[in-house]
Amino acid sequence: MGMFKKSNKNGEGSDFKLNNEKIVQFTAVLANISQFLMLSVVVWGYFYTVLPVFQKEKIAEDLARLEIEKDKWQKIIDEADQTVSVKTQEVNKIQSEKKRLETSIDEISKRRAELEEGIKNATAKLNDVQALYEIERVRLAAVEDEYYKLHKSAFLGDRFLPETFTVYLNSVGYEFKVFTRENSGEIARMLKTEFLQPISIAKKNLESITAEKNSASADFVKRILVRFLEEYASGIERKGHYLNCSVPDFASWEASFSAAFTYDDSIFSKCKKLHVDRLISLNKWSESDVLRYKEASFFQEHESKSEYACSTSFEYEIEKLYRDKWRYVTEPCRDRLLNVDEIVLRDINDLDIAPERSSGPPSKEEINRALDELIAGWY
């Protein structure tokens, strides 16, 4: 009995121990399940509560940014529309102005054609002379007015009066005084007096700078003028060949001008015949009428007037030819006179200096050609 009881007591202890282990295992399983359920609840709460809130805020921010972009682009579009509208108005205005100018050009062209058609007789030559003198008068008046303004500015200390401008002013229109038949014996002297070398102007400017330097009281002013004086003197030395123009043969111009009034008989006869033929054509005379009227006083008077008209026209044309040729020959040198300081002080590669031209007077062929063209332009 004692053995049985002992054995029974040991079995009950084993069962209790087994039950405890099962309870512990079950508790551990429940703990794992609760942790898993808790994790699932957290994950579910993140995806269905927290994440949608963040996404909603991000979408709200994107919408706000897009709204700002929309307003910005709408403003740009509005400004572009306004610019297009303004430009369209400007284009319409330009088109309107273009049409107006085209109409004006057509009217001017028509008027010009009418005027050119009307100028076809001998009196047109006199009108040409008067127009030429009027242009020179206006030009001289304009130059004199500019000279007055510059001189006044220089007197008031506002601006320096260039020496070259004074030289140019003195030479404007000088050809009209020189090349006249009354001055035939004074041409060489007058041309020599009028002809100036750019180098002489440059040396005068150098003397003026030297005098200014010597009269300067402040040391810094004197230093500046010394530096400028050295630069100017160096420029004259290096570019002297540009400042010395070829001197025309004034005596040959005088001799040529005096001889030019000895016309070829063929040209003078051609001129007289043109006037006589014009009289015959206007009166519709036959050859017999011409023979009958040839000795009449009115016919001889017309021939005399024709000779005078030819002489006067030839004289003016020769004077004009010599004036134009002198201007052409001396133009490069005059340009250098007006740009003395530019030549002296600037890099020669930056300047457009025209080469000198043949300095001879008009040839006999040029004179005859000019007179032939004059006659061909009558009637």
Residues 167 and 245 in one domain: yes
Q: What is the pTM of this model?
A: 0.53
pLDDT digits (tens, 9 = 90+) for 2-24: 433 444 445 555 666 666 777 77
Q: Are 243 and 332 in contact (CB under 8 A)?
A: no
Residues 108 and 138 in one domain: no
Residues 109 and 131 in one domain: no
From 73, 102, 118, the end of a domain falls on: 118
Residues 312 and 361 in one domain: yes
From 118, 139, 173, the end of a domain falls on: 118
Q: Is residue 36 part of a domain?
A: yes
Longest dimension (CA), the chain: 203
Q: Is residue 358 part of a domain?
A: yes
- When divided into structural domains, the chain yields a total of 2
Residues 35 and 140 in one domain: no
Residues 168 and 37 in one domain: no
Rounded distance, CA 334 to CA 328, Å? 10
pLDDT digits (tens, 9 = 90+) for 157-191: 443 445 554 554 455 455 557 888 888 899 999 99
At a CB cut-off of 8 Å and minimum separation 6, what does 338 contact?
A: 164, 165, 168
Return the structure tokens found at 339.
Answer: 């740009």
What count of residues does the chain have?
A: 379
Q: Which residue has the higher pLDDT, 236 or 338?
A: 236
Q: Is residue 301 part of a domain?
A: yes
Residues 131 and 35 in one domain: no
At a CB cut-off of 8 Å and minimum separation 6, what does 327 contact?
A: 175
Q: Is residue 1 part of a domain?
A: no
Predicted pLDDT of residue 98:
82
Q: Which residue has the higher pLDDT, 354 or 13?
A: 354
One DSSP character per residue, 317-350 reads HHHHHHHHHHHHHHHHHHHHHHTHHHHHHS-GGG
Predicted pLDDT of residue 160:
46
Identify which of 56-65, 116-125, 249-258, 304-313 has the greatest average pLDDT: 249-258
Predicted pLDDT of residue 362:
95
From 96, 118, 140, the end of a domain falls on: 118
Q: Is residue 2 part of a domain?
A: no
Residues 44 and 192 in one domain: no
Confidence check: pLDDT of 71 > 80: yes
Residues 100 and 213 in one domain: no
pLDDT digits (tens, 9 = 90+) for 135-158: 666 655 554 454 334 433 433 344
Confidence check: pLDDT of 346 > 70: yes
Average pLDDT over residues 32-43: 79
Rounded distance, CA 95 to CA 87, Å? 12
Confidence check: pLDDT of 232 > 60: yes
Q: Which of 76-85, 101-110, 364-373 has the lowest mean pLDDT?
A: 101-110
Predicted pLDDT of residue 1:
38
Residues 151 and 76 in one domain: no
Residues 356 and 235 in one domain: yes
Owning domain of residue 325: 122-376
Average pLDDT over residues 344-369: 89
